[in-house]
Amino acid sequence: MRRPWNDVVIADCGESLVSLKSRFLCLEPHPYVRVGAPYGEGADPYRLRSGVLERLHKAQDQLSMAHDSAAGSLQLAIFDAWRPVQVQAYMVLHATVELCRQRGIDPDDPAQLEAMARVQSDVSQFWAPPSRDPGMPPPHSTGAAVDLTLADITGTVLPMGGEIDAIGEESIPDAHASAAEQDPSGDAALWHRRRCLLHDVMKEAGFVRHPNEWWHFSHGDQLWAWSVNAERAIYASVPSS
Indicate which residues carry an active-site annotation: 213
Pairing relationship of beta strands 208-209 and 17-19 according to DSSP bridges: unpaired
- The helix or strand, by DSSP H or E, that contains position 49, with its residue range, turns out to be strand 47-49
Residue 86 has phi, psi (to 5 degrees) of: -65, -30
How far apart are the C-alpha atoms of 170 and 212, rounded to whole Å? Answer: 10
Q: Could you tell me which residues are beta bridge partners of residue 151?
A: 75, 157
How far apart are the C-alpha atoms of 76 and 8, rounded to whole Å? Answer: 29
CA angle at 215 for the pair 144 and 59, rounded to the nearest 5°: 65
* Sheet hosting strand 208-209, strand order edge to edge: 25-26, 74-80, 145-152, 216-218, 208-209
Quote the radius of gyration of the chain (alpha carbons, Å): 18
Please give the DSSP secondary-structure letter assigned to residue 170. Answer: G
Residue 240 has phi, psi (to 5 degrees) of: -65, 140
Kindly report whether the peptide bond that precedes residue 29 is cis, defined as omega within 30 degrees of 0: yes
- Answer for the pair 221, 227: CB distance below 8 angstroms, yes or no: no
